[in-house]
Amino acid sequence: MKKSLNVFDNVLDLIGNTPLIKLNKMTQDFDGEFYAKVESFNPGHSSKDRIALFIINEAERQGILKPGDTIIETTSGNTGFSIAMVSIIKGYNCILAVSSKSSADKIDMLKSMGAQVYVCPAHVSADDPRSYYMVAKRLHEEIKGSVYINQYFNQLNIDAHYRSTGPEIWQQTEGKITHLIACSGTGGTISGTARYLKEQNPNINIIGVDAYGSVLQKYHETGEFDEKEIYPYRIEGLGKNLIPTATDFKIIDRFIKVTDESSAHTAREISRTEGLFVGYTSGAVMQAIKQLNEDGTFKKGDKVVAIFPDHGSRYMSKVYSDKWMQEQGFFDSKSEVSETIQYI
Ligand code: PMP
């Protein structure tokens, strides 16, 4: 089939090569040019399509996966969706252990893609037998011929972005990128992309976005895993209560933290001002850019690339629900709620 005619053998051929879109309104008063790598253009609507395809291809290449085998993963939703999609095309069973913090939409979506879903409590420690790590580990031990993707501790997660996201951004900016701003969850996106970019130009600034309630920034600054940093927060897919080996801390220049509230408002602002309907962590990345701008991080001539990991449709019952925003105390006054006009 001819890709040049926009005809494809299957949906997996559409993974990667996402657009870089200039942010025009939100950054108009900032020094520098700002671009978003909009990962919702992947067929599974997130950056996780890249790692699902890359890791499964690699397992096939090594002869680990045979048709009909089972793929298991822990996931905040996006990785699960991508693995389920790749499994359908390639003929594997897909079992996903997800956090109870994941939105109802995400869980329903995983089921729609044929995955078997285990919902596990969000606020238990990683070594608790009920945690999604432990549930996935146990299922992997019990199911013969199963493969555990283990994205937080799998170096192929980094390699996937080293081989795709990094080169794409380098080419799209014609080598002129000065700053990369990306969320860190597993750390695969920022680590792999940064590794490629720094090989091309070691002066590129790599800034990771972390959540309040996560251990990543403190670990990066002190080398210490500080349990006192851990408390529940709302943003899904960003920050962590453990140290993932899929994060290359040495390649990240600094971390910056953002709040649940400011990130939620900023996600809504991106949709309303740039016309890009993006997820909660895209709001977090953009919020980080606002804070960095206030600190004077950027100067004229800089070319800043932010990675927007997923699509807004996954957050209809959260960030894009006025009711949810109000329940979180994120609206100061009722006037912030957009009215629905009943024309009857
Ligand atoms: N945003 C969202 C919505 C995610 O699901 C994830 C993955 N956990 C990330 C950001 C962070 O990406 P990474 O795991 O590659 O650090």
| DSSP secondary structure of 262-308 | HHHHHHHHHHHHH---B-HHHHHHHHHHHHHHHTT---TT-EEEEEE
Question: 61 pLDDT exceeds 90?
Answer: yes
Query: How many other C-beta atoms can be found within 10 angstroms of the C-beta atom of residue 5?
Result: 7
Ligand 1-lining residues (CB < 6 angstroms): 76, 78, 183-190, 237-238, 279, 281, 309-310
- pLDDT tens, 225-268? 999 999 999 998 899 988 999 999 999 999 999 999 999 999 99
- pLDDT tens, 120-150? 998 888 889 999 889 999 999 999 989 999 9
Strand segments (E) across 90-216: 93-99, 116-120, 146-148, 179-183, 205-211
Query: Could you tell me if 270 and 224 are in contact, meaning their C-beta atoms sit under 8 angstroms apart?
Result: no
Query: Could you tell me if 103 and 313 are in contact, meaning their C-beta atoms sit under 8 angstroms apart?
Result: no
Domains of the chain, residue spans = 11-42+165-328, 47-148
Tell me which fold the domain 11-42+165-328 belongs to: Rossmann fold (3.40.50)
Average pLDDT over residues 188-192: 98
2, 37, 48, 290: the catalytic one is 48
Question: 161 pLDDT exceeds 70?
Answer: yes
Lowest mean pLDDT among 47-61, 117-131, 171-185, 324-338: 324-338
Atom number in ligand 1 closest to CA 188: 15
- pLDDT tens, 229-238? 999 999 988 9
Query: Could you tell me if 278 and 270 are in contact, meaning their C-beta atoms sit under 8 angstroms apart?
Result: yes
User: Does residue 290 have an active-site annotation?
Assistant: no
Query: Could you tell me if 30 and 286 are in contact, meaning their C-beta atoms sit under 8 angstroms apart?
Result: no
Pocket test for ligand 1, best of 191, 281, 308, 310 (most atoms within 8 A of CB): 281
CATH number of 47-148: 3.40.50.1100
DSSP 234: S
